[in-house]
């Protein structure tokens, strides 16, 4: 069942998503050589709590952090800790916050100091693929119209989309129906309806799309060891263009 949010629920989700987006921005500003991923995680945690919200990821299926911090070949679910960032790293930060019972979920990849032009292109293409996808996040289209647009843009730029993890509905639960893959033929899956809320999150690899989960059960790396990037926003389906909910403005 895909939940359709009421106006009252959407007001709460807007607030949850603003907190989440501000936490992502705060984390991005901390990315620099010498900082540890654990320090960023602590700042994200303390900020979310200071806003009267709860970190959605903390203890989710046993996850030990408030943020996922995924460096270089780590695609998603990097566990924060003692690792020090260094010049040239690319750092994906994924955060979620739960406010008055509703979740926001968003992610972005940040450059640590000077990075290679190809790494910067990976970050740019990943972010743009989200915007290409949500051109189809409109009432009347189907979920896989988003998926197809993301994949087409990424592959036209010579990169690949991860298959093993997908976007999702978001709301009272961090993960709701429907699944929102970043690949596939158009015209499939549920039809999009006003007041659905989705987390659209392309994960893009520089090399092949295969990934592997490390023995900690979380850390997901590219199978070929090449770089990966991630970009995610929680969005609202409307009468017209999708509304991006995870924007920090007005918090």
Task: Tell me how far apart the alpha carbons of residues 246 and 251 are, in angstroms, rounded to a whole number.
Answer: 11
Task: Tell me how far apart the alpha carbons of residues 53 and 102 are, in angstroms, rounded to a whole number.
Answer: 10
DSSP letter string, 92-119: EEEEEEEETTEEEEEEEEEE-SS--HHH
Could you tell me the smallest distance in angstroms from the CB atom of residue 62 to ligand MF3? 9
**Cα–Cα nearest to 167, from 185, 193, 146, 192:** 146
Residue 199 makes contact with Co ion by CB under 5 A: yes
Question: Using CB under 6 A, which of the segments 8-16, 44-52, 60-68, 154-162 binds ligand MF3?
Answer: 60-68
Provide CB contacts within 8 A for 210, sequence distance 6+: 164, 222, 223, 224
Residue 41 makes contact with ligand MF3 by CB under 6 A: no
- Between 44 and 115, whose beta carbon lies closer to Co ion? 44
Question: Using CB under 6 A, which of the segments 11-19, 55-63, 115-123, 188-196 binds ligand MF3?
Answer: 55-63
- Between 33 and 232, whose beta carbon lies closer to ligand MF3? 232
Provide CB contacts within 8 A for 206, sequence distance 6+: 118, 122, 159, 222, 226, 227, 228
- Between 189 and 202, whose beta carbon lies closer to ligand MF3? 202
Judged by CB under 6 A, the residue of 199, 204, 211, 236 near ligand MF3 is 199
CB atoms within 10 A of CB 237: 23
Could you tell me the smallest distance in angstroms from the CB atom of residue 21 to ligand MF3? 13
For residue 63, list its beta bridge partners: none
Residue 105 makes contact with ligand MF3 by CB under 6 A: yes
Could you tell me the smallest distance in angstroms from the CB atom of residue 77 to ligand MF3? 6
User: Tokens 């989440």 correspond to what residue?
Assistant: 20
Residue 105 makes contact with Co ion by CB under 5 A: yes
Residue 68 makes contact with ligand MF3 by CB under 6 A: yes
Q: Which residues bind ligand MF3 (CB under 6 A)?
A: 57, 60-61, 63, 68, 77, 94, 105, 107, 168, 199, 232
């Amino acid at each position: 069942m895909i939940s359709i949010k009421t106006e009252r629920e959407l007001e709460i989700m807007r607030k949850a998503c603003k907190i989440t987006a501000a936490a992502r921005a705060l984390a991005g500003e901390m990315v620099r050589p010498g900082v540890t991923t654990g320090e960023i995680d602590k700042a994200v945690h303390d900020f979310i709590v200071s806003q009267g919200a709860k970190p959605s990821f903390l203890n989710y299926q046993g996850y030990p952090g408030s943020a996922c911090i995924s460096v270089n070949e780590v695609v998603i679910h990097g566990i924060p800790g003692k690792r020090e960032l260094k010049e040239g790293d690319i750092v994906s930060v994924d955060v979620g916050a739960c406010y008055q019972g509703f979740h926001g979920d968003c992610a972005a990849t940040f450059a640590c100091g000077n990075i290679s032009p190809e790494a910067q292109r990976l970050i740019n293409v990943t972010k743009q693929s989200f915007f290409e996808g949500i051109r189809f996040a409109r009432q009347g289209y189907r979920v896989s119209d988003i998926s197809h647009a993301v994949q087409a843009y990424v592959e036209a730029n010579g990169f690949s989309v991860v298959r093993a993890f997908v976007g999702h509905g978001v709301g009272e639960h961090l993960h709701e129906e429907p699944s929102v893959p970043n690949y596939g033929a158009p015209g499939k899956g549920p039809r999009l309806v006003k007041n659905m809320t989705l987390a659209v999150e392309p994960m893009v690899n520089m090399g092949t799309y295969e990934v592997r989960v490390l023995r900690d059960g979380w850390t997901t790396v590219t199978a070929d060891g090449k770089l990966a990037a991630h970009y995610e926003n929680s969005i609202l389906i409307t009468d017209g263009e999708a509304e991006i909910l995870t924007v920090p403005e007005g918090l």
